[in-house]
């Protein structure tokens, strides 16, 4: 006999979080519910879950709006990182994510190291574009100029 449950997390075989699915009674009572992967689909639990989903979607929309505003600011704010160089303009070390975050904060853009996507370390002078992950669905490009420190 099958029963209906509300998934509380994504499951590759059953569906996405918040979906109401039919599963066998044993699977629901012995695995899904004890491991907090699902709840029984009663009228009250459906109503409560819909309220949670509405609040979560509102919060998500606000976060996306904030990220979009920050993306526009990032696009308009190039940053400059000054580095020491050796002969031939070669950098001592590389420009790190922390260097970029610090340079961006000096220009009024608040970022975290974990938001930067550096495919490879920046080891050359010049203009570079760094991807910034602002939201699950949104990335921005930050223009980074690596310039030689004047001695």
Look up residue 65 and give its two tokens.
């709006």
pLDDT, tens only, 48-77: 888 888 998 899 899 999 989 988 988 888
Q: What is the pTM of this model?
A: 0.67
Task: Tell me what pLDDT residue 30 has.
Answer: 95
Closest CA to 81 of 115, 114, 104, 112: 104
Domains, in order of start, for the chain: 2-62 (3.40.5.10), 71-148 (3.10.430.100)
Q: Are 7 and 18 in contact (CB under 8 A)?
A: yes
For the chain, where are the E strands, in sequence order? 2-7, 20-24, 38-40, 79-83, 116-117, 126-135, 138-148
Per-residue pLDDT for 27 more than 90?
Answer: yes
Give the pLDDT mean for 28-32: 94
Task: Tell me what pLDDT residue 91 has.
Answer: 83
């Amino acid at each position: 006999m099958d029963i209906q449950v509300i998934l509380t997390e994504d499951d590759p075989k059953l569906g996405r979080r918040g979906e109401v699915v039919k599963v066998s009674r044993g699977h629901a009572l012995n695995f899904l519910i004890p491991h907090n992967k699902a709840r029984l689909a009663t009228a009250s639990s459906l109503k409560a879950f819909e309220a949670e989903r509405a609040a979560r979607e509102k919060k998500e929309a606000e976060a996306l709006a904030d990220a979009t505003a920050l993306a526009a600011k990032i696009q308009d704010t190039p940053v400059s990182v000054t580095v020491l160089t050796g002969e031939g303009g070669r950098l001592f070390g590389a420009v790190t994510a922390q260097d970029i975050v610090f340079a961006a904060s000096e220009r009024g853009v608040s970022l975290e190291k974990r938001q930067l996507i550096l495919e490879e370390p920046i080891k050359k002078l010049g203009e570079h574009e760094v991807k910034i992950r602002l939201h699950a669905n949104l990335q921005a490009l930050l223009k980074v100029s690596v310039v030689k420190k004047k001695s």
